[in-house]
Amino acid sequence: MQDSLDSESPWKASADRQTEREAKRVAVLRTAARAFNEMGYHNTSLDDIARRLNVTKPTIYYYVRNKEEILFECVRIGLEMLDEASNDVSGHDGSTYDELIAVMRKYAEIVTMDFGMCVIRVGEEPLTEESRRTLRSLKRSIDRKFRRLIERGIEEGSIAPCDPKIAAFTVAGALSWIARWYQPNGGLSAHDIAGQCIDLLMNGLGKAASSGDGRPPT
């Protein structure tokens, strides 16, 4: 009798249950992001997501309220990953130019991941205005960090004089577009693609330095 009283409870502790629930919720979101990226938001149903997870549709409602909440969370996670890209590389030795390169590489790799790709391929347009405002504030934060890096680089002389706003838009826009055409089973890895795209952005296509109007000097 005593052995049965001392046996381990079949019910998990509250903290363990919460951890397990959060892991399953993230699995729902990641699976949904992948489906949105492949089929589009409007063409993806909760039934599609449930089938990919081998669960029933009611099970999905235990972790999210509806499809719009799923998209909001997918885009939010992706934007937060992009926003934190600069935090992951800041404070290292080297010039601001080197730091910018590291941030660009991190950014390019994130947009080839499920949540980062969802930011670019789907975005916040299907959501309510309130949700869009929340997500756009994160986008502004990302843009400000790119601009500050470029401004710092110009000040220290490691980055050529330019309009930081235009430069930030160009860099983020070009790197974001990778998510539109990247294929995980393609011939190049995300790391290789990031390297080539960054090299083109920072060094251009011409053999000689630009004259400032996009044409090589005569």
pLDDT of 64 above 50: yes
The per-residue pLDDT for range 161-211, each reduced to its tens digit, is 999 999 999 999 999 999 999 998 888 999 999 999 999 999 988 875 544
pTM above 0.75, yes or no: yes
Distance between CA 87 and CA 106 in Å, rounded? Answer: 10
Question: Which pLDDT belongs to residue 6?
Answer: 57
Question: Which pLDDT belongs to residue 11?
Answer: 63
Burial tier of 122 (Cβ tally within 10 Å: 0-12, 13-18, 19+):
buried
Of the CA atoms within 13 Å of residue 218, those in its CB half-sphere come to 1
Reference 104, options 217, 201, 189, 37; nearest CA is 201
Domains and CATH numbers, the chain: 68-203 (1.10.357.10)
Which band of pLDDT confidence, cut at 50, 70 and 90, is reported for residue 15? confident
Question: Which pLDDT belongs to residue 87?
Answer: 79
pLDDT of 7 above 70: no
Distance between CA 44 and CA 49 in Å, rounded? Answer: 8
**Dihedral in degrees, nearest 10, Cα atoms 130, 136, 140, 142:** 130
Which band of pLDDT confidence, cut at 50, 70 and 90, is reported for residue 215? very low
Reference 172, options 149, 204, 205, 152; nearest CA is 149
Question: Which pLDDT belongs to residue 90?
Answer: 66
The per-residue pLDDT for range 146-160, each reduced to its tens digit, is 999 999 999 999 999
Question: Which pLDDT belongs to residue 62?
Answer: 94
Reference 168, options 196, 149, 194, 193; nearest CA is 149
The per-residue pLDDT for range 73-92, each reduced to its tens digit, is 999 999 999 999 887 776 66
Q: What are the helix (H) ranges across the chain?
A: 2-6, 14-39, 46-53, 57-60, 67-83, 85-89, 96-110, 114-121, 129-156, 164-176, 178-181, 190-203
Question: Which pLDDT belongs to residue 163?
Answer: 97
The per-residue pLDDT for range 104-153, each reduced to its tens digit, is 999 999 999 999 999 999 999 999 999 999 999 999 999 999 999 999 99
